[in-house]
Amino acid sequence: MAFKDNRDFIEALSKTGDVVPIKQEIDWDLEVGAIVRKANERREAAPFFEKIKDYPDGFRIFGSPLATERRLAVSMGLSPDSTGLLRNIQEEYERRVRSRIKPVVVSKASCKENVLVGDDVDLFLFPAPMIHEGDGGRYLGSWHMVITRDLDSDWVNWGMYRLMVYNRRILTSICESYSHLHAIKAKYEYQKKPMPVAIAIGADPISSFAAATQLGIGRSEADFASALRQEPVELIKCETNDLFVPAHAEIVLEGELVQGTKIAEGPFGEYTGYRSNPRERQIAYKINAITYRNNPIVTMSCMGMPVDDSAIVVGLTTQSAIKRHLQRHGVPVTNVYVPPETGSYLVIVGVKPNYCNTASVIANTIFSTSRATFKVIIVDADVDVFDLNQVLHAFATKCHPVRGIRVSDREASTQLTPYLSADEKKWRKGASVAFDCTWPFEWSKESEVPVRISFEEAYPEEVKQKVTQNWTTYGFRRS
């Protein structure tokens, strides 16, 4: 059974010990952000702030809903305590997204419990946090969805583009040139037509997950979310435009793009772990209506040094997409892992070579993707890509310093990549590197490939079973 909303999700997290209700008054100005950031870096439970300074009782903030693999597992209905959690999540994710399920439209919804229109609209009604010291303003949108419709088709895009409060009715949003939002916006501007927008804050956890994914142009995040939930997302029509929003979102903002106007936005501490972009003029939305639930919950992510929500979600979706991409090209890939600690800039590929130079083929295939600013580590099938100890060992002992490294310095990049120069960011000029940590295919298995010494490989089966069965008896905490 999928979670209808974040409230059901929070209740489930309380049963698994993955949420911390904080009942004392907390300041929206940096204190909320500092608590969430520390919790993220320590991989602690999600902070749930029940009393916010300057705001009425009942106005709450839920910090980093999906910033650990445990919380992601709960959101998918999986046990967070299962053995091999990372592998289980990926396998279940891949199974579910093979199909699509259409959302359903409903006529009544909790997101309509309160309705404000026109001059009654006030974005400061909600406790938008000042997330990091040095941010350009208060961000009401850091874990949310921006909903827009393509002008020339029925494609509706859910995206997650940070939203800074400018005044009571205006939000300003980042809009990178390669984003789906930019592609949709350009059509409205070219035809000089008003562009409606809806912003949903606090949708169910999987719908927010879907908004943070990188699906292709024309693909529906609502269908994707329904498939991942294994039941349809419920949608309801907005009050002032024809867009549809998740029916049980905590807050819905309805508005339109302010064409021909740009407002200073940022800087902002981003998912890369850096404040890497300066304050720049960005697009603006005028909000014409707000609907919200009684006792609304603002969902927020505190981006920064991984791990945060973006690292978990983008890492999972990126590794799955790369695995499918490699399989379509006939690469004998065993698995792919994008460690959340790396901000999605490192890809680990397991492979069972059946011809020479397999690593080169993998590098070429990955570098051909639309955003190829990756560092790729390629390991043999006997290395568990989810075990960073094994991966680091393979990197240190199997990657030849000359013939094992492949560099490509003319790849597409995101403008948020920290190590790029201003000119490289402007023109999206990136670079990628692949590290071949596999034994050469032509080496003899008997005489040239070294024998690895580990618990799994250096002891007979009966000894391993005896040690495993008696592990806690020896005095160790877990088997």
Greater confidence (308 vs 412) lies with 308
41 and 95 housed in the same domain: yes
Q: How many domains does the chain have?
A: 2
pLDDT (0 to 100) of residue 177:
80
Q: 406 has which bridge partners?
A: 434
- Is there a single domain that holds both residue 34 and residue 85? yes
Please count the other Cβ atoms lying within 10 Å of the Cβ belonging to residue 102. 12
Q: For residues 432 and 287, state if they share a domain.
A: no
Instruction: Please report the pLDDT score of residue 476 as a whole number.
Output: 72
Average pLDDT over residues 128-156: 94
Residue 188's pLDDT is what? 94
Q: Are residue 356 and residue 215 in the same domain, yes or no?
A: no
The mean pLDDT value of the chain amounts to 90
The answer to the question of residue 84 being in a domain is yes
53 has pLDDT over 60: yes
221 with 90, same domain: the answer is yes
In terms of pLDDT, which residue wins out, 5 or 439?
A: 5
Q: pLDDT per residue over 243-284, tens digit each? A: 999 999 999 999 999 998 999 999 998 888 888 678 999 999
Q: Looking at residues 14-19, what average pLDDT do you find? A: 96
**Is residue 396 over pLDDT 60?**
yes
Instruction: Say which range, 118-127, 319-328, 470-479, has the weakest mean pLDDT.
Output: 470-479
Res. 370: pLDDT tops 70: no
Residue 312 counted as domain residue: no
**pLDDT above 70 for 372:** no
In this structure, the answer to whether residues 49 and 159 fall within a common structural domain is yes
Domain span holding position 195: 6-300
State mean pLDDT over 88-115.
94
Average the pLDDT over each of 292-296, 357-361, 448-452, 467-471 and give the range with the smallest value.
448-452
Residue 469 forms part of a structural domain: no
| pLDDT given for residue 460 in this prediction | 81
Report the range out of 4-13, 406-415, 463-472 with the highest average pLDDT.
4-13
Residue 128 shares a structural domain with residue 201 = yes
Q: Rounded to an integer, what distance in angstroms lies between the CA atom of residue 265 and that of residue 114? A: 29
Please compute the mean of the pLDDT values over residues 144-169 and round it to a whole number.
96
Q: Which of 32-41, 129-138, 332-341, 433-442 is the least confident region?
A: 433-442
Domain assignment of residue 370, yes or no: yes
pLDDT more than 70, % of the chain: 97
**Shared domain check, 355 and 295:** no
Q: Are residues 252 and 380 in the same domain?
A: no
Interatomic CA distance for residues 54 and 300, integer angstroms? 18
Per-residue model confidence (pLDDT) at position 276: 67
Residues 126 and 238 in one domain: yes
- Determine the average pLDDT of the residues in 354-362: 84
* Domain termination residue (choose one: 279, 300, 321): 300
Pick the more confident residue, 467 or 10: 10
Cα 479 to Cα 475: distance, rounded to the nearest angstrom: 10
Mean pLDDT for 398-409 is 88
**The domain that contains 351 carries what CATH number?**
3.40.1670.10
pTM of the model: 0.87
Q: Are residues 268 and 413 in the same domain?
A: no
Q: Has residue 461 been placed in a domain?
A: no
Q: Give residue 478's pLDDT band: very low, low, confident or very high (50, 70, 90).
A: low
Q: Examine residue 474 and state whether it is found in any structural domain, yes or no.
A: no
pLDDT digits (tens, 9 = 90+) for 24-50: 999 999 999 999 999 998 899 999 999
Tell me whether residue 389 is in a domain: yes
Same domain flag for 339 and 377: yes
What is the percent of the chain with per-residue pLDDT over 90, rounded to a whole number? Answer: 65
CATH number at residue 33: 2.30.110.10
Task: Tell me if 12 is assigned to some domain.
Answer: yes
Q: Which amino acid is at 331?
A: V
